[in-house]
Amino acid sequence: MSPTLKNNDYVCIKKTKSFKQGDLIAFEYNNKLLVRRVIALSNDEVNIDTNGYVFVNDKKLEEDYLTSRKDNPLRDEVFPYTVPNGKVFVLGDDRTQSIDSRMRDLGCIDQKQIIGKVVMRIYPITRFSIY
């Protein structure tokens, strides 16, 4: 899967408040719908090393969906970081350009903000996928 989603892909979102690490979730930010991957849940500790590897509670994540581990130069969150209660830590699969929880402007996503979980890509049909 590289990259998981591209601009102008059409996806189906299942409204749910139940999600786990690795799920793609949709939420609103600055009047836009964003899709990001859940990396850590409430009270988890997240660390991102200088090589771009992500650790949650000291366990390295296997992220075969990434095309690059290069970091976003706009990142301003300090690691290690503990996810506040009631929130999730999200990252985009395109780490060099993604606006995600590494930026304090967005930060962790309140679970109440989450619209739902991406369950499939329906367009373009040549890239149809179920997640």
Angstrom distance (rounded) from CA 89 to CA 99? 12
Considering only CA atoms, which of 59, 51, 111 is closest in space to residue 86?
111
Domain boundaries, the chain: 10-130
Domain spanning 10-130: which superfamily? Answer: Umud Fragment, subunit A (2.10.109.10)
**Stated pTM of the model:** 0.87
Q: Report the pLDDT value the prediction gives residue 35, as an integer from 0 to 100.
A: 95
Q: Report the pLDDT value the prediction gives residue 2, as an integer from 0 to 100.
A: 45
What averages of pLDDT result for each successive group of 10 residues across the chain (131 residues)?
Answer: 74 92 94 94 94 93 75 70 96 87 92 94 90 84
75 burial class (0-12, 13-18, 19+ CB within 10 angstroms)? middle
Considering only CA atoms, which of 36, 19, 31 is closest in space to residue 72?
36
| 3, 84, 89, 112 from 93: Cα distances, Å | 7, 22, 13, 23
Angstrom distance (rounded) from CA 89 to CA 15? 19
Cβ–Cβ under 8 Å, residues 114 and 101: no
